A = this chain, B = another copy of it.
Amino acid sequence: MAFSFTLEAQDSATEARAGRFTTAHGEVLTPVFLPVGTAGSVKTLTPDDVRAAGARILLANTYHLSLRPGAETVRRLGGLHRFMGWDGAILTDSGGFQVMSLSPLRRVNDGGVEFRSHLDGSKHLLTPERAIEIQDALDTDIAMSLDQLVEVPSTPEEIRESVDRTLTWAARGLAARGRLREEGRGAMALFGINQGSADPAERRRCFQGLGPLPFDGFALGGLWVGEGRTLGIEMVEHDCRMFPKERPRYLMGVGHPVDVIESIARGIDLFDCVLPTRNARRGTVFTATGRLVVKNAAYAYDERPLDPDCDCYTCRTFTRAYMRHLFSVGELLAMRLASLHAVHHMLRLVQRARAAIVEGGFARFRTDVLERFRSGDTLAPTGP
């Protein structure tokens, strides 16, 4: 089934929008948060858990899967959906971000990125064409075009160069998918990634090249990498003004509840982030009223759930006292139960945002959610 995106509602007071897209693995309502299944599992959770939490689309990492078990292995085993037992949609990244953040040694030139695996030092070459081939082998529903990132801060020349390269690579990625389609493969959607760091002029120049290309959606790259929330949100606003209304907009790697709400208000449709689940595995979870460090000894007698506003299995079943105990003794169940809450919490947040947009009450919803998140209510420990 061909990828298609439909806008269903547009908030009148903000740029927030509700939509849906269809993939060969089902329909996805937007705004949406993608739990991250880095190496073919959303850490500690089963596909059933993730589906029960409301997820209909996951992100998987091309870098990790192409190193282990290898894209060809996944293809031979029937593709990533079958391999990991997930029948919903999958979006894969291009691998570029992980190459830059994880590989101990890499060299970028016009051809692509040569890098060494962070696992065994083996040498690999990631080109725009190879990124597409790998993602096709994984049988993804939505692939991302290989882009070039720059660090923060970077010089204007570095930013300019990365924009130029991102544009060349975008065209090469599309061409690669075109060739796959001639062979009856490459059915996946393909999103282009806008770059230009936190420089509005460069982001504009990048999108002038990217916008006319036949991408199925557009992503905002190079943000939330150290430039700060205010500047990040400004860039979101800036990019969303340029992006066409009729294509989905994906803010990569952003998952703090405040950032998600503020970015939805500016017109973002998709988010993914490891932050909520990574924090959860370390004993800290987002709740409706803020960040709860449940592993703290202060919660040893607190009989409330992690988040009294939440109806996930963890919050319906266990106390903070028990969760604190599990973290304190190093039980793996702690990470699993906290991760379940984390995924559920993010999905409920975007679902509620969507409902508010559809009902015309998003502005009020946004104020209420942000006020409550900043309130810290229910976070003070109870007990002796």
Interface residue ranges, A against B (CB under 8 Å): 39-41, 43-48, 64, 68-69, 73, 76-77, 83-85, 300-301, 303, 313, 317-319, 321-322, 325-326, 328-329, 331-333, 335-337
A317, B85: Cβ atoms closer than 8 Å: yes
> Which chain B residues lie closer than 8 Å to A328 at the CB level?
68-69
A43, B331: Cβ atoms closer than 8 Å: yes
Identify the interface centre among A329, A333, A335: most chain B CB within 10 Å of its CB.
A333
B322, A43: Cβ atoms closer than 8 Å: no
A321, B77: Cβ atoms closer than 8 Å: yes
> Which chain B residues lie closer than 8 Å to A326 at the CB level?
40-41
Given contacts A322-B84, A337-B46, contact A331 B41 (CB under 8 A): yes
Measured CB to CB, the closest approach of chain B to A329, in angstroms, equals 5
With both beta carbons as reference points, the residue of chain B lying nearest to A334 in the complex is identified as B41
A77-B76 Cα distance, complex, nearest whole Å: 52
Contact of A325 among B43, B47, B69, B303 (CB under 8 A): B69
Sample of 21 A–B contacts (CB below 8 Å) = A40-B326, A41-B331, A43-B333, A44-B332, A46-B313, A46-B317, A48-B317, A64-B329, A68-B325, A68-B328, A68-B329, A69-B321, A73-B300, A77-B321, A83-B319, A83-B321, A83-B322, A85-B317, A85-B322, A332-B335, A332-B336
A301, B43: Cβ atoms closer than 8 Å: no
> Which chain B residues lie closer than 8 Å to A317 at the CB level?
46-48, 85
A44-B332 Cα distance, complex, nearest whole Å: 5
B40, A77: Cβ atoms closer than 8 Å: no
A222-B40 Cα distance, complex, nearest whole Å: 44
> Which chain B residues lie closer than 8 Å to A321 at the CB level?
69, 73, 77, 83
A40, B85: Cβ atoms closer than 8 Å: no
Measured CB to CB, the closest approach of chain B to A334, in angstroms, equals 8
Q: Can you name 18 extra interface pairs (CB under 8 A) apart from A39-B329, A85-B317?
A: A39-B325, A40-B322, A40-B325, A40-B326, A40-B329, A43-B332, A43-B333, A46-B313, A46-B337, A68-B325, A69-B325, A73-B301, A76-B301, A77-B322, A83-B321, A83-B322, A83-B325, A85-B318
A158-B16 Cα distance, complex, nearest whole Å: 78
Measured CB to CB, the closest approach of chain B to A292, in angstroms, equals 18
With both beta carbons as reference points, the residue of chain B lying nearest to A68 in the complex is identified as B329
Given contacts A77-B303, A85-B317, A321-B83, contact A332 B332 (CB under 8 A): yes
Identify the interface centre among A84, A317, A328, A329: most chain B CB within 10 Å of its CB.
A329
> Which chain B residues lie closer than 8 Å to A77 at the CB level?
301, 303, 319, 321-322
